[in-house]
Amino acid sequence: MASSLELDLHIAARGSRLASLHAALREAIASGRLAPGLRLPSSRELAASVGVSRNTAVAAYELLASEGWLESRGGAGSFVAELPRAVVQVSDRASVAPWADSPWLRGELSALPAPGAHSPAPAYRFMTGVPDIAGFPFEVLRRLQTRALQAVAREPARYSRPQGLPALREAIAGHVSSSRAVACTADDVIITAGAQQAFDLIARVLVTPGRTTAAVEDPGYPPLRAALMAAGARLAPVPVDREGLVVDALPAGARIVCVTPSHQFPLGVALSLARRRELLNWAAREQAVIVEDDYDGEFRFTPRPLDALKTLDRDGRVFYVGTLSKSMLPVLRIGFIVAPAWAREALVAARQVADIGAPALMQRAVADFIGEGHLLRHVRRMRAEYAERRGVLEQMLVRHLGARADIYPAIAGLHLSAALAGDCTELARRAWQAGVGVEPLSRYRLAAGGVDGLVFGYGAISAARIPEAVRRLAEALGTL
């Protein structure tokens, strides 16, 4: 048809041209080829495209509109109407590939739903994993993006490099070296589409389907578990206490150990230095590797953080995974792996197969954002802000819940957790109804049982709103 809509309509050479055009358009709508809400070409464009008179095109549109297939929006033109699914002839067969047997098709890797997903959003939301973007220097990033676009325009067209832009890898290497004492160079860094792609690539490279056992924290991060399961790993849940992962509970034969040592997700505790050394020694004895997820460790509340596992690693066993989703913006989808030299080439090859490479334009802008010191300044500002929110939240939990809430110690991050007796799933549901969004710890458990409680993310709620949110939560708790 016209440039605004490319669709091959077959108009009969004989008989009524109007009837043929009407039938062709109706069939295209009924089959789903023309989606609801799609703007159709003008009658003049349609007529010229299919070789009929304009009067015929106008008449076809009017007839379809009278039948409910189209709707006219004044001067805006004609649009495909919103039709019931029963009318649109879209295939909805249960299975067109019965030979396919994957965890995706079996529904075993579905996304973790938010509590009250089908209810109105609450007024007070303790969302985990979400930073405050209100104070982010958007204008600075916009300026750097413009500069990056101008630079790209002067260069030959090319695809992104699968390992990532050298300038961004160098900037990240410098950042983790100064902020987390991780000794690395640009060659050690692989840029990914967020931390989740980092987990996926590591799983693709390290997991032998049906044979590799991966030890995961329990409670832990469900998307990481999903990446391992998708690669065919067998998961072994390992308990977590107030010193972090219980190394003595690691199963013999585990080849991958996944930990969040700086700020355990979701309990919030830090892996003690003794446990860190114990874990590295265990990995050496068992010839295992460690995936260290340092997702929000930059926001620490102590003068000096504990050394990263990657810093303590002397055998090349630790894959250090980081992300800019918390320190900058989630929509950037920029993460990275500081990989052991022996695995780097394989990870880069896996990245190339997955999506060739991250968008180079944003990589350039973020490299300059880090290199010019904007990230460091933003992290320092937000570290103070999050420390205030955490302090207010802890005070309010003590005031309103008292001895009923056993708060887990946390020295970093954007959330804290508290153990609570009773049915915390029901408590979270009642809190949601009272306008407070909070998650039960049980949502993150792999094995049944264990201490339950609530997880409080404070990245998306201001310090001023926390007292009222906790007060409402206490009222909901009082009704149980």
Pairwise CA distance, residues 371 & 175, whole Å: 9
Residues of the chain with CATH 1.10.10.10: 1-93
| Residue 309: partners with Cβ closer than 8 Å, 6 or more residues away | 259, 261, 271, 276, 279, 280, 290, 292, 318, 320
Pairwise CA distance, residues 216 & 178, whole Å: 28
Contact at 8 Å (CB) between 309 and 290?
yes
- This prediction has a pTM of 0.85
CA-CA distances (angstroms) from residue 218 to 196, 239, 259, 412, 463?
18, 5, 10, 20, 30
SS3 assignment, position 147: helix
Pairwise CA distance, residues 438 & 127, whole Å: 7
Pairwise CA distance, residues 402 & 420, whole Å: 11
pLDDT of residue 105: 77
Pairwise CA distance, residues 6 & 150, whole Å: 33
Contacts 24+ apart (CB under 8 A), 46-54: 46/1, 46/2, 48/2, 49/1, 49/2, 49/9, 50/1, 50/9, 50/11, 50/21, 51/11, 52/11, 52/17, 52/18, 52/21, 53/17
Q: Does domain 1-93 have CATH number 2.60.120.10?
A: no
Pairwise CA distance, residues 31 & 344, whole Å: 47
pLDDT of residue 5: 60
First to last CA, the chain: 64
Instruction: Output the CATH code of domain 124-130+380-478.
Output: 3.90.1150.10
Contacts 24+ apart (CB under 8 A), 55-60: 56/17, 56/18, 56/21, 57/21, 59/18, 60/18, 60/21, 60/22, 60/25
Residues of the chain with CATH 3.40.640.10: 138-372
| Residue 366: partners with Cβ closer than 8 Å, 6 or more residues away | 144, 168, 171, 324, 328, 332, 334
| Residue 99: partners with Cβ closer than 8 Å, 6 or more residues away | none
Pairwise CA distance, residues 383 & 65, whole Å: 58
Comparing CA positions, the residue from 40, 15, 14 lying closest to residue 26 is: 40
CATH classification number, 138-372, choose in 3.40.50.920, 3.40.640.10, 2.40.50.140, 3.30.1300.10: 3.40.640.10
Contact at 8 Å (CB) between 295 and 288?
no
pLDDT of residue 119: 55
Work out the number of other CB atoms within 10 angstroms of the CB of residue 460: 18
Show the low-confidence residues of the chain (pLDDT under 70): 1-7, 84-95, 110-120, 479-480
Residues of the chain with CATH 3.90.1150.10: 124-130+380-478
pLDDT of residue 407: 96
